[in-house]
Amino acid sequence: MRLGCGVFAASCVAIEVLGVAIFLRGFFPASVRSSSPTGHQAEPPAPEPLAGASSNWTKLPLPLFSKAVIVLIDALRDDFVFGSKGARYMPFTTYLMGKGPSHSFVAEAKPPTVTMPRIKALMTGSLPGFVDIIRNLNSPALQEDNVIRQAKAAGKRMIFYGDETWVKLFPKHFVEYDGTTSFFVSDYTEVDSNVTRHLEKVLKRGDWDMLILHYLGLDHIGHVSGPDSPLIGYKLREMDGILMKIYTALLTKEKETLSPSLLVLCGDHGMSETGSHGAASAEEVRTPLVLVSSAFERKPGDIRHPTQVQQTDLAATLAIGLGLPIPKDSIGSLLFPVVERRPMREQLRFLHLNGVQLSRLLQENVPAYEKDPGFEQFVMAERLHGNWVKLHLEEDHSGALLNLGTKVARQYLSALKTLSLALSMHVAQYDIYSMAVGTIIVLEALTLLLLSTPQVLHRRAELEVPLSPPMFSLLFYLMFLVLSAIHVVVCTSAESSCYFCSLPWLAAGGVMVLVSALLCVIASALARMVMDSTLLQKSTTHPCSGWSEVGLLLLLGTVGHVLSLGASSFVEEEHQTWYFLVNTLCLALSQETCRSYFLGDNKELPHCFHTEPASVGAICMQQDHIACEAPKGGQADKGPCPSGARRGHVRWAVLAGPWLVLACCRLLRSLNHTGVQGAHRPDLGHWLTSASHKMELSCLAALSLLVIFMLAQRGCSLVSKVALALGLVGVFCYRVAIGNLLFPWQLTNRGISKGILEARFVYVFVLGILFTGTKDLLKSQVIVADFKVKTVALWELYSGLVLLAALLLRPHNLPVLAFSLLIQTIMTKFIWKPLRHDVAEITVMHYWFGQAFFYFQGNSNNIATIDISAGFVGLDTYMEIPATFLTVFGTYVGPVLWAGHLAHFLSAEASSYSDSAMSRACFCYALICSVPVATYIVLVTSLRYHLFIWSVFSPKLLYEGMHLLITAALCVLFTATSQTGHTRAWVKTGARNQ
């Protein structure tokens, strides 16, 4: 079966996407879980240990607090409360922590630091899986045991106001609720006002036991403006007033009921220096946890400093405080200061209940639990506890009883800490079977691409894929039967849940058919290559098939980057790898241009750039001038050669091209410092986004938009030029409307809005340009003779994406977009056209620059650098599909625009390359994107127990998966645009036959 290069490559990438999806589902499994069923009927609590007898304490202790109010402020960093901002903007909270009845803690949140996993950790005490980053967009109902479920089972009435994620996680648990969307980040006032408007009425009522308030405004301010925004102070002052109102109301109620209440102030995660979150930096994982209650009265001179605890400790503490069973899956330990004023027997009882729950969870998830140090410490503490209870029941009031009780408490606390640490180390059980299936699919698709590479290098427009014979061969059926038997054995003997086994038999059978067919195709391709000896033969029709210096650099650089993915430091600082590769490429191109124009041999071509027999005449770079070789017989001349003066200018421009690109890249590196080592260092972006430099940022943004227009309008039609100009003006107006920029006649921002109207004004022109380009592209498929239509159509599609990127990028990143267009122009005019690199080399160069610009705009392999505010530009309500598309496009602007430029360049230079150039470029792009993904999957599988697997390697895996999905979409675009070339070749062939 014969397939075009592009169709074959797009099919392989689509298969890889399937394999990566299965692998990700197995790699990001569920956390450790209790094997006991989660139901509404609670198990009887463990009795109090007693040496030689049975204790009379067999029930849960009475609640310590009659009511509990949880105030969760989204993205509340610890320094917002305990630092200088807290002292300045939250005076009442500072007073409570310094002199009031409170205990303060710094609660460490584990990555991923996004809202839904953090709520699960707070209420279940377990560590959610990393895949919850994806589930954060649409939270399913929580099936694990949690404090909310236990409270409902105990008959407690709960009220909730705030982030609707709670309503999705705990449906039908609240007697009253009002949820607000958490993804509309442009709004930081109404989301909080919607919570506070219920507060006064609810606090006056007494028909509730737990009140949960989730405020989103602070998080939204961080996403839009960062942690240093003046709006942060106003929001903290607003939250401080709300806390004072709640505390005063609780004190009034306590005078009536004579029973203490509990006020909890906490954050779900922190906020990075750029205002985002999701990763493991100190600013993102350190959150305040303040517990306030009249039961915590302190003595004069009692100074309490915040101590560091785990965020998962809150679930066990809330359960003990409200008289509820501790959630079965909790790995947290009781915050002992909460119960340290209680009688010794109650203290030990609380610690024992927590220890029993943790030891049971350890037994169910760790086979050799008896040898675990935490379990051994707990057994010792339980034995000592029994002795203490025996002495207590004998009414021994000597000092020995007090000393023994203190010793038992210390032993329990040490055991709880060790048990919690041991369980957190066993936080996940990998689904090895699903991981293996996904890895095999990806490696098979990559193998097919690699086996087809020799055919592509020999400039074959179509590939011979041995598809039909293997499908009906004996080998195929044997493989299918073997895989089916393995699937049955694994799924019937698996002790833990397996995603691939949970699929319907039809779906699983389809995957096994695919795996079997790919194996047979690979075997057939290998057999054919051996029979034909294609690996041992050199092409005689293409004498310049050897590697050039630039080609060798591109190959070695790509291989070096792939190998660097095995080191955590290289993954964290991957931007340095791409900066080095791009800079080295510029130096190599400079050497090539110098040798071609000044040191070249007049008798030899520096490159074999015309690889097709039917191509237009070759261009010879000579020492002093550019000479145009005569065209092949029967072909028209391309035009007169440039004059001597013109040739001199062109020669020096070509020589300066790589150095201009190198200078642009150096400027871009100073704009956004990214990675781990340099992210905290001051850069030009931080300077521009500060409030005191808004006018400078406005001037730079205006200049960048002007440059973007000048460079993007060159290949557009008149209508598209007008639309592009008006759209870029609308981009500036949108940024002024939301307060990022200023008009020249403005000194300060007045009447800041959400910019909905201005953004939608730009969207109209974006859609108009894209529609025009799509219409012309479809027209080019019909009118084969007019090849310029396709080139103009591709450029208009590219210009529409440029306008969309200008709208979504933050103002200080507009120079990144302008420099991207400038570098593309320089490379096209002064490097790629004069030097006539091969299609494969040009494709790899585009890929390298696309990756470099991914990091130039401030991205990294850190989830926190994703700018989710781009997903809500022009939206007044949360719409999942548009928000997801805009966020993904805003993140991958660099790779997408450089791939789009590649398609246009090959179309514009169609006369210089073969008709299969677009298909070959698609194949090369698919191959160079597939190799890192396949290699990285193997690496993370072997490094799955690495110390940094969740903080470093897992986020990179998600980035690679999304990049592969985008690559699949780009390959489809390449394949669609290459159909015109195939039609043109068919027309030429028909004309020659006539």
pLDDT single digits (tens) 771-827: 999 988 888 776 654 567 888 899 999 999 999 999 999 999 999 999 999 999 999
User: What is the predicted pLDDT for the residue at 539?
Assistant: 43
Mean pLDDT to the nearest integer, 5-10: 88
At residue 496, what are phi and psi to the nearest 5 degrees? -110, 170
Cβ atoms of 817 and 728 within 8 Å: the answer is no
Q: Residue 800: which residues within 8 A CB-CB, separation 6 or more?
A: 766, 767, 769, 770, 773
Determine which helix (DSSP H) or strand (DSSP E) holds 217, and give its type and residue range.
helix 217-225
Q: Rounded distance, CA 878 to CA 180, Å?
A: 10
Checking if the pLDDT of 471 tops 70, the result is no
pLDDT confidence of 621, banded at 50, 70, 90? very low
Virtual torsion, Cα 593, 595, 596, 601, nearest 10 deg: 180
Q: What is the DSSP string of 229-252?
A: -HHHHHHHHHHHHHHHHHHHHHHH
pLDDT band at 864 (very low <50, low <70, confident <90, very high): confident
Instruction: Identify any residues that bridge with 265 across adjacent strands, giving them in sequence order.
Output: 71, 290
Q: What is the dihedral of CA 798, 799, 804, 805, to 10 degrees?
A: 70
Nearest alpha carbon to residue 956 among 77, 183, 280, 436 = 280
Structure tokens at 689: 């986004």
Per-range mean pLDDT, top range of 566-575, 600-609, 629-638: 566-575
Here the tokens at position 364 are 């169910």
Contact 609, 838 (CB under 8 A): yes
Asked whether the predicted pLDDT for residue 41 surpasses 90, the reply is: no
pLDDT single digits (tens) 356-396: 999 999 888 777 788 889 999 999 999 999 888 888 888 77
According to the model, what pLDDT value does residue 925 have? 94
Supply the pLDDT for residue 444. 95
Q: What is the DSSP letter of 140?
A: P
Tens of pLDDT, residue by residue over 106-155, are 999 988 788 888 898 999 998 876 666 655 555 678 888 999 999 999 99
Full DSSP string of 59-90: SPPPPS-S-EEEEEETT--HHHHHSHHHHHH-
Tell me the pLDDT tens digit for each residue of 296-305.
988 777 788 8
Q: What is the pLDDT of residue 547?
A: 72
CA distance 263 to 261: 7
The pTM assigned to this predicted structure is: 0.77
Nearest by Cα to 970 from 904, 872, 909? 904
Residues linked to residue 162 through DSSP beta bridges, in sequence order = 179, 214
* Dihedral Cα 680, 683, 685, 686, nearest 10 deg: 60
Residue 211 has a pLDDT of: 96
For 19-58, the three-class secondary structure string (H helix, E strand, C coil) is HHHHHHHHHCCCECCCCCCCCCCCCCCCCCCCCCCCCCCC
Quote the Cα angle for 94-99-104, to 5°: 60
- Give 946-954's long-range contacts (Cβ < 8 A, gap of 24+): 946/568, 948/568, 950/110, 950/111, 950/130, 950/280, 951/111, 951/279, 951/280, 952/568, 952/571, 952/572, 952/861, 953/568, 953/571, 954/27, 954/28, 954/130
Placement of tokens 């293997």 in the chain: 470
User: pLDDT-derived band of residue 855, with 50, 70 and 90 as boundaries?
Assistant: very high
Q: What angle do CA 565, 569, 573 make, to 5 degrees?
A: 85
Residue 288 backbone dihedrals phi, psi, to 5 degrees: -80, 145
Q: What average pLDDT score do residues 969-992 get?
A: 63
Confidence class for position 419, pLDDT limits 50, 70, 90: very high
Range scoring the smallest mean pLDDT among 310-319, 586-595, 803-812, 974-983 = 974-983
Q: Model confidence at 641, in pLDDT bands (50, 70, 90)?
A: very low
Distance CA 865, CA 275 (A): 9
Question: Whole-angstrom Cα distance, residue 161 to residue 216?
Answer: 11
How does residue 575 score in pLDDT terms, banded at 50, 70 and 90?
very high
List, for residues 73-119, the tens digit of each pLDDT value.
Answer: 999 999 999 999 999 999 999 999 998 999 999 999 988 788 888 89
Angle (nearest 5°) at CA 59 between 56 and 63: 125
177's CB contacts (< 8 A; 6+ apart) are: 159, 160, 161, 166, 167
Amino acid letter for position 221: I
CA distance 511 to 516: 9
